[in-house]
Amino acid sequence: MGIQLWGAFGGFQKKTGALVGRWLNGQNVITAIPHPSKKPPTEAQLNQRAKFGMLVSFLRPISQIIKVGFKDAHAEKQSAWNAAFVHNFKRAITGTGPFTIDYPKMVYSMGILSPVYDPELVVDRPEIITFNWNGFTSGSGAATDMATFVVYSPIIDRYVCLTNAVPRSALTFELLMPPDYKGHEVYCYMSFVSANGKLTSNSSYLGKMPVL
């Protein structure tokens, strides 16, 4: 049953007959109920579906971080999630089938703050990854910018994420990894958010390291 909210000439929400109404990006959108095609999907369509599903599964666990990281990097009437998806769909999927994620090209944040400068990863103790960096900034950036760390293990398909961990001025941070990451090679990323939460930096891929 459709629900009409704005009078006889307004839009509606939910299903009514062969039409479906929904509220999308500040507008009421009415579309026909889609009918499944009787034609078998082409190879190109199957490839697009495979890439789409792979990227959705990869990005969904960090959707809240993406919501902040891409909040100023999307077009009008486009969500932060959609902007991040489009960016990574074009750049971070490789192969012709089966497809793979190009982890160094994955981006979860884009903004005008200075990114991490001269980063270094150190793994010399069990279950600890040490992030080091230089306090230098070019352009927009401050010592009070807060660091976000993202670590991904493809072996168990899981993330370790920490937002607002330490200020840029700390120059180092020791990230404690869960015990079940031991022996895994993980991909490490880092970004900054201004202290007031209004500005973000590009996320930076720092490298692949083993967890001792």
Q: Is 184 helix (H, G, I), strand (E, B) or coil?
A: coil
Residue pLDDT, tens place only, 138-182: 889 999 999 999 999 999 999 999 999 999 999 999 999 999 999
Average pLDDT over residues 181-192: 97
Residue pLDDT, tens place only, 50-108: 899 999 999 999 999 999 999 987 777 789 999 999 999 999 999 887 899 999 999 99
Mean pLDDT of the chain: 88
Q: How far apart are CA 153 and CA 179, in angstroms?
A: 13
- Residue of higher predicted confidence among 78 and 16: 78
On the question of pLDDT at 204 being above 70, the answer is yes
On the question of pLDDT at 32 being above 80, the answer is no
Q: How confident is the model at residue 184 (pLDDT cuts 50, 70, 90)?
A: very high
- Residue of higher predicted confidence among 133 and 3: 133
Q: Is 168 exposed, middle or buried (0-12, 13-18, 19+ CB in 10 A)?
A: buried
pLDDT (0 to 100) of residue 49:
87
Q: How far apart are CA 138 and CA 36, in angstroms?
A: 52
**Model pTM score:** 0.81
Query: To which residue do tokens 């993330």 refer?
Result: 159
On the question of pLDDT at 31 being above 80, the answer is no
**Residue 18 token pair:** 């062969």
Architecture field, domain 43-210:
Sandwich (2.60)
Domain regions of the chain by residue span? 43-210
| Across 35-44, 128-137, 141-150, 197-206, least confident range | 35-44
